[in-house]
């Protein structure tokens, strides 16, 4: 299968399906067999390289990407059908549309590999060891930016249970981890190709391959040394005790006015239990929209404030919030006729029960918290009617709780590295993730969401506290090790003691541009190939004359 001969029709169909299957088994949620990540792309690379032209290679990549993303995103049907009130046909159609769009990036990857690494029958250049990983990561960056971004479960996240393999993320983020995963796949494919190929390989190419092996070895050494260094820094740092409260409120009942008092009773009972367990408890975190009401106009809020005052703790909780926009006229503020602005917010209550800070979610979920092009996409409006049509926030400033400066990530925001990086730059010494994953039901999505959140701790070298309505809640250390973790669909209150680090990582200081550099490098590769092809055509024309 590794030879450069033209693949049979059966092989060209089996290769993309095999890669999709291996990737699906490697990712958390199903089997979670993470070692498969280092070999899963070999069939895809072989097919991309040996198909006769870039178009056929792209079609093969599209089919592989479609199979993989259907296995990754099947939970969208649950969200749209059960909570969005959409017909099964529309829900399935939406899944196919999104999976098809994401598969386009896999198609582009295969086309780039096919076009830049020569033609079938010719020797496979060692340059593929840089071309393939750069192209994959560059396309990941584009996918995470275009159309508000959908960077769901990039390959690097599949290693979230193996913190020793994640340490290089503080250099180039999760994109650097993905780069090395693709590079190892490509290196194994190149070696197998050389082993079965009849064409002679120059010693220079083996030397370049050896340099890649040495680079991977150095990364492994860095990970081991950095792990020990961060553990030492964490041991010497200030320690704080925090609690994460998981209420396990059913999404079907969450916004029902009839049970809002029952909801508060449950959170207060779980919080009281956590306060008894945690010695010198300083911060307690409730999940996204734990309060099923607007706190500044609800009598039940007084009970929450009294609890914070009684237990002498800082309480960070999620709640919907609204403000009435005002404008200045004749040096006075008067009510504007503009619409009221609604926010998905996090509120910080101090030890007296007073609200001392508020964070508004910046990156809203398309079709979940707002509807893009609402006039044209009227049929998905039911998705936001239950939670409101929110306005994005515009600040990453941490919320203060004594010596704690909490950088807040609400739900969807934890999958975007730049939001966590910006709040760390602004002085956050602790990351707090608040989410409501009840939408996903008993699917693999909560595992995916948890995996992506773990990487934010490693990239910024911050401890992370996560409170989720139905799970997964937990604590992540600056090394990426998970110290405590809840189950799914259980009512729990977890406490743990975590270090507060303040150092700025290489990732924060400029390493976050690594993925963009891969995208630019891929563009240069393509430009160079176009220039070379153009030069060859000009030479042929001159010879004919």
Tokens 């549309």 found at: 97
Tokens 């994401």 found at: 102
Question: Which pTM was predicted?
Answer: 0.91
Give the tens place of pLDDT for each residue, 378-414: 555 555 454 457 888 888 999 999 999 999 999 989 9
Please, which residues have CB within 8 angstroms of residue 507's CB and are 6 or more apart in sequence?
169, 170, 171, 172, 173, 421, 459, 460
Active site (annotated) includes residue 533: no
From the candidates 411, 413, 492, 518, which is the catalytic residue? 411
From the candidates 361, 369, 492, 518, which is the catalytic residue? 361
Find the mean pLDDT for residues 503-527: 94
Give the tens place of pLDDT for each residue, 271-330: 999 998 756 899 999 999 999 999 988 899 999 999 999 999 999 999 999 888 765 544
What pLDDT, on a 0 to 100 scale, did the predictor assign at position 505?
Answer: 96
Which regions of 174-292 does DSSP assign to beta strands (E)? 238-246, 281-285
Class (C level, CATH) for 237-324+333-509: alpha beta
What pLDDT, on a 0 to 100 scale, did the predictor assign at position 335?
Answer: 44
What pLDDT, on a 0 to 100 scale, did the predictor assign at position 336?
Answer: 45
Residues of the chain with pLDDT > 70, as a percent, come to 89
**214/217 Cα distance (integer angstroms):** 5
Give the tens place of pLDDT for each residue, 128-173: 899 999 999 999 999 999 988 899 999 999 999 999 999 999 999 9
What is residue 359's three-state secondary structure?
Answer: strand
Q: Is the pLDDT score of 260 beyond 70? A: yes
| Residue 235, token pair as written in the block | 């041991």
Lowest mean pLDDT among 173-187, 356-370, 378-392: 378-392
From the candidates 288, 369, 413, 492, which is the catalytic residue? 288
- Measured between alpha carbons, how far apart are the two ends of the chain, in Å? 44
Active site (annotated) includes residue 288: yes
Confidence bin at 334 (pLDDT 50/70/90): very low
**407/240 Cα distance (integer angstroms):** 15
What pLDDT, on a 0 to 100 scale, did the predictor assign at position 278?
Answer: 59
Specify the DSSP class assigned to residue 373: T
Confidence bin at 52 (pLDDT 50/70/90): confident
Q: Enumerate the CATH 3.60.110.10 domain ranges in the chain, comma separated.
A: 237-324+333-509
Confidence bin at 119 (pLDDT 50/70/90): low
| Residue 395, token pair as written in the block | 């600040």
């Amino acid at each position: 299968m590794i030879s450069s001969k033209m693949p049979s029709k059966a092989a060209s169909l089996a290769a993309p399906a095999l890669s999709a299957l291996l990737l699906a088994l490697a990712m958390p949620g199903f089997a979670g067999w993470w070692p498969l990540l280092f070999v899963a792309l070999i069939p895809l690379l072989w097919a991309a390289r040996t198909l006769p032209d870039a178009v056929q290679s792209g079609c093969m990549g599209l089919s592989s990407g479609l199979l993989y993303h259907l296995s990754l995103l099947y939970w969208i049907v649950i969200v749209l059908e059960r909570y969005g009130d959409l017909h099964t046909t529309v829900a399935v159609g939406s899944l196919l549309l999104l999976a098809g769009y994401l598969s386009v990036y896999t198609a582009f990857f295969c086309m780039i590999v096919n076009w830049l690494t020569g033609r079938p029958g010719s020797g496979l250049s060692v340059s593929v060891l840089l071309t393939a990983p750069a192209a994959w990561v560059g396309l990941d960056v584009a996918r995470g930016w275009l159309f508000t971004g959908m960077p769901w479960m990039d390959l690097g996240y599949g290693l979230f249970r193996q913190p020793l393999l994640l340490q290089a993320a503080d250099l180039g983020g999760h994109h650097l981890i993905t780069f090395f995963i693709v590079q190892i796949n490509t290196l194994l494919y190149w070696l197998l190709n050389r082993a079965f190929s009849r064409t002679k390989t120059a010693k220079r190419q083996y030397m370049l391959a050896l340099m890649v092996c040495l680079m991977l070895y150095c990364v492994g050494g860095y990970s081991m040394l950095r792990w020990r260094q961060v553990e030492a820094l964490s041991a010497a740092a200030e320690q704080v005790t925090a609690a994460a409260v998981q209420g396990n409120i059913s999404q079907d009942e969450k916004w029902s006015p009839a049970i809002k008092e029952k909801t508060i009773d449950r959170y207060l009972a779980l919080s009281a239990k956590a306060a008894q367990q945690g010695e010198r408890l300083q911060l307690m975190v409730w999940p996204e929209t734990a309060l099923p009401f607007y706190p500044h106009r609800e009598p039940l809020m007084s009970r929450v404030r009294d609890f914070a005052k009684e237990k002498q703790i800082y309480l960070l909780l999620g709640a919907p919030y609204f403000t009435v926009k005002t404008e200045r006229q004749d040096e006075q503020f008067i009510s504007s006729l503009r619409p009221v602005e609604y926010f998905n917010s996090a509120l910080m209550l101090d030890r007296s029960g007073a609200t001392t800070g508020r964070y508004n979610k910046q990156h809203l979920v398309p079709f979940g918290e707002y509807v893009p092009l609402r006039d044209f996409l009227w049929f998905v409006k039911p998705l936001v009617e239950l939670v409101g049509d929110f306005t994005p926030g515009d600040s990453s400033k941490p919320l203060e709780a004594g010596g704690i400066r909490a950088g807040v990530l609400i739900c969807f925001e934890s999958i975007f590295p730049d939001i966590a990086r910006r709040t760390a730059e602004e002085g956050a010494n602790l990351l707090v993730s608040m989410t409501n994953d009840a939408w996903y039901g008993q699917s693999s999505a909560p595992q995916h969401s948890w995996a992506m959140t773990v990487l934010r701790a490693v990239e910024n070298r911050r401890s992370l506290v996560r409170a989720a309505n139905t799970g997964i809640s937990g604590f992540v250390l600056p090394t990426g090790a998970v110290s405590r973790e809840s189950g799914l669909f259980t009512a729990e209150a977890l406490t743990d003691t975590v270090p507060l680090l303040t150092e700025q990582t290489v990732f924060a200081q400029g390493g976050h541009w690594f993925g963009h550099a891969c995208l630019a490098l891929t563009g240069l590769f393509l430009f160079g190939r176009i220039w070379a092809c153009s030069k060859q055509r000009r030479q042929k024309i001159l010879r004919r004359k």
